[in-house]
């Protein structure tokens, strides 16, 4: 009788644990790309040999670049070949398991279904390539910077389809939606709710918007509590503050449209 009771208790405990884990996993699956990036990059301690991060996940090499968009100050696009395709070499380091590499590869290959962008494995004679590594957090440089160009997708927190797409869009030359040149017509930034010293993350940039409208559903749009110091919104839509935004889990129609316009696909 005692053994039966112990068995029943153990079975119940296992069932409750499974239900808890299932609920936790389901909640995790519902997170937006912006929320995943915030979680993965929160409280990171940067070492002296790592690039400076602005806006949460954009890498820059010096303080001089903090308030500038390198894609508007110099050429940063990847070149197009005679066949009309844009071939971008990449190398995935051995930090990743086969399952993790499959997630990254799926993100890379997704671009070929809606654009002329073709990510291909790098060769020894490639001068410029993306090197995908598991470093400290999720981050990328904006646009083509030349030579080995690191895209960091940390194994803890960054390996999701939409997150891969987000960082690759940075590498292709795109900034965050909330820093667009026409941002103030669509988003009100509440700087009094922003963590002290983080206000620069909301500086507008002279972006090239490719004739596309402001997109609340862009995979590049951060959520309403980004960089909040008090759990209050740091951004509200204009004119309707109740409009939902920052919830994308993958690239939107406008994300794809501006990519195709920029690269003349």
Distance, CA of 222 to CA of 236 (rounded, Å): 11
**95 is known to lie in a ligand binding site:** no
100 is catalytic: no
Q: Which residues lie closer than 8 Å to 155 by C-beta, 6 or more apart?
A: 95, 96, 100, 134
> Does 176 count as an annotated binding residue?
yes
Residue 166 assigned ligand-binding role: yes
Q: Is the dihedral of CA 212, 213, 214, 218 positive or negative?
A: negative
Annotated active-site residue in 29, 167, 177, 250: 167
Q: Which residues are identified as catalytic?
A: 167
Annotated binding-site members: 166, 170, 176
Annotated binding-site members for Zn(2+): 166, 170, 176
């Amino acid at each position: 009788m005692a053994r039966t009771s112990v068995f029943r208790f153990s079975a119940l405990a296992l069932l409750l644990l499974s239900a808890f884990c299932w609920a936790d996993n389901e909640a995790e699956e519902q997170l937006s790309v912006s929320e995943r990036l915030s979680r993965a990059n929160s409280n990171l301690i940067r070492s002296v040999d790592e690039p400076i991060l602005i806006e949460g996940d954009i890498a820059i090499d010096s303080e001089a670049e903090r308030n500038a968009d390198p894609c508007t100050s110099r050429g940063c696009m990847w070149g197009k070949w005679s066949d009309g395709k844009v071939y971008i070499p990449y190398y995935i380091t051995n930090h990743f398991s086969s399952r993790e590499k499959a997630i990254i590869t799926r993100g890379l290959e997704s671009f070929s279904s809606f654009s002329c962008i073709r990510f291909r494995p790098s060769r020894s004679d490639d001068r410029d390539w993306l090197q995908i590594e598991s470093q400290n957090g999720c981050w990328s440089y904006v646009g083509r910077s030349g030579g080995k160009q690191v895209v960091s997708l940390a194994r803890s927190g960054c390996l999701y389809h939409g997150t891969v797409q987000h960082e690759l869009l940075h590498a292709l030359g795109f900034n965050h939606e909330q820093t667009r040149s026409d941002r103030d017509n669509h988003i009100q930034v509440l700087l009094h709710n922003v963590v002290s010293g983080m206000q620069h993350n909301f500086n507008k940039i002279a972006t090239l918007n490719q004739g596309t409208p402001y997109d609340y559903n862009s995979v590049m749009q951060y959520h309403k509590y980004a960089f909040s110091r008090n759990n209050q919104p740091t951004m509200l839509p204009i004119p309707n503050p109740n409009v939902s935004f920052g919830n994308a889990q993958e690239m939107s129609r406008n994300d794809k449209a501006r990519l195709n316009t920029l690269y003349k696909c």
